[in-house]
Amino acid sequence: MKIMGILNVTPDSFADGGKHNSLASAVKRAQEMISEGVDIIDIGGESTRPGADRVSEAEEIARVIPVISELAGFGVPISIDTMRASTASAAIAAGAQIINDVSAGLADPEMMSVAAELKTPYIAMHWRGQSKAMNSMAIYSDVVREVITELEVRIAAAEAA
């Protein structure tokens, strides 16, 4: 088992209310998580809380790359939490080792091919749509079966990449 510490560098984080959206506070929180024993630090620059607005690619990259660059030498693997292939590529170049995509490649059709090209471990999560619409799309007749089926489709897409 591995413990992943979540470090959201957004002003509207669902998890922490935006406490770590400066480089100094993000690095301090990462150091705290390392001392608490996390195995991986997952860095996200775009909130995916219900109702959240998307941020631009440039804004997302500006939020995460300085933090990744600073933490790359800390000895703990870094995961980039993004739905954009361009952000994932920039993050891997800056020192991240894992891509964590809450959309499982649905938000950006290039994501899985980028992960394959970079030979980067890829986390695909279950997703039915953007934050603005997610609550209305979370209607299931058999939640377990439907999530498994939808993830099987995404696994096949990843394997094809």
E runs forming strands in the chain? 4-8, 40-44, 78-81, 98-101, 122-124
Q: CA dist 77 to 18, 34, 151, Å?
A: 23, 11, 25
- Contact assessment for residue 124 and residue 144, using Cβ atoms and an 8 Å cutoff: no
Q: Which domains does the chain have, with CATH numbers?
A: 4-160 (3.20.20.20)
pLDDT of res. 16? 62
| Beta-carbon contacts of residue 118 (< 8 Å; ≥ 6 apart) | 88, 89, 92
pLDDT along the chain (161 residues), means of 10: 93 63 90 97 85 86 97 96 97 98 93 96 81 62 89 92 88
Q: CA dist 118 to 15, 60, 85, Å?
A: 29, 20, 11
